[in-house]
Structure formats: C-alpha cells, structure tokens
Amino acid sequence: MLLADAPSAEWLQIQGRLFRFFGTHAGWARWHDAASGAWICGQERDRANELVRAARVAAVVQDPRLIPSRSMPEHHAFADLTAMEWNRLLLGIFTYLGGPARLEDVSTVAAVLLRIPGAAATQPLEPTGGHLRCEEMDGLVENTLEDDAQDRIALHTLNCEVCAAQLAAYKGAVERMSAPIHSSIQRPAVS
C-alpha cells in the first residue's frame, strides 16, 4: 500500500484495535488475501463479496458526513471506545461502503471519523485491487494541494466555530443548573 504520508502512531493503534476486533467479535471477520498480501475485513456475511471500490473509500474520507451520526461514538477518544461503540461505528462504515474492504482503508476511515490528526493523509493512493481507473480518478484529483489546504483550513475554522457554540451552550446549561434554586422562592415573613 502506498500512503501519502507515513501513518501516525494513533492510526497504527486504530489499525491494531480493528485487527483484533475483526478477529474476535461475532458477525465480523478478517482474512488475508494471498494475491494482494492485504488483510481484508468486513461483516462475516459479506466475506464472499467483492471488495469495495477505492472511490467509495475516498468519498467517505473526503466527506465523513456520509456516515450517519447515530453510528458515531459519543466521544472521539478511540482508546476508550467500548466493543459496542466500535460495533456501531463499523456498522455505519460498512453500511456505507457496501462490502468488505482492506483493513488499511477501514483504519483510515475510522481514524478520519474519530478525528485523528493527519488521518486523511494516510489515505491509500493505490486502491483496492490494483490501479485507479480513469473514471475513479476524475473525482479524486480535482483539487490541487493548495485548494485542499484551503478546504482543510475552512473546515477547521468551521469546526472551531461549531465547538465554540456547543461549549457556550453547555456553559449556559451548567450555569442555569447551578443557579441557586432558593433565590426564586419567597419565604413567608416570620413574626
């Protein structure tokens, strides 16, 4: 697998967790493809199906909103995710992908969804099953690196604004909850 950049330590940890998860949890499977030398993973029932196209993986890496929010864990600290949260996240990923995928691709998608810094940079440049076909490349190489950097800055700025709004709402709720209740209750005068 060719990577845009060397994978981060967090990405490698996610890949290790997924490798173990697919090997130990009912309904999920991992198997080694001798022809490509890659580990393949997915739902057990999809084991005989064809691998997903690289364009499908690239689409979700570019736009993580393609995965339903109900599939996302409540927090993004992957080290603290329970088996149930991994299961829900993987169900969302594989529902979108529509079939088995290389472990590296699933690790990249999971890292992007869990907001691991630099996760999108580990996106495989060589797709599942060989080289990109022309029709797959059309949608993948439209942006120049400069456009991509500007898009990432804009998304980061937007994310910061959303987080700031959520934090303000949270602080407001905490302040309302911690306001003294007795201040609004008038006590009868004692004579």
Compute CA 164 distance to the chain's CA centroid, rounded to the nearest angstrom.
Answer: 21
Task: State the Cα–Cα distance between residues 31 and 34, nearest whole angstrom.
Answer: 9
Model pLDDT for residues 53-105, shown as the tens digit of each residue: 999 999 999 999 999 888 888 876 777 888 899 999 999 999 999 999 999 99
Task: State the Cα–Cα distance between residues 57 and 42, nearest whole angstrom.
Answer: 13
Q: pLDDT at residue 26 above 70?
A: yes
Angle between helices 83-97 and 103-113 (to 10 degrees): 110
Q: Looking at 83-144, list the stretches that DSSP marks H as alpha helix, in order from N- to C-terminal side.
A: 83-97, 103-113, 134-140
**For the whole model, what pTM was predicted?**
0.60
Q: How many CB atoms lie within 10 A of CB 98?
A: 14
Mean pLDDT in residue range 31-42:
92
Task: State the Cα–Cα distance between residues 149 and 49, nearest whole angstrom.
Answer: 36
Task: State the Cα–Cα distance between residues 4 and 70, nearest whole angstrom.
Answer: 30
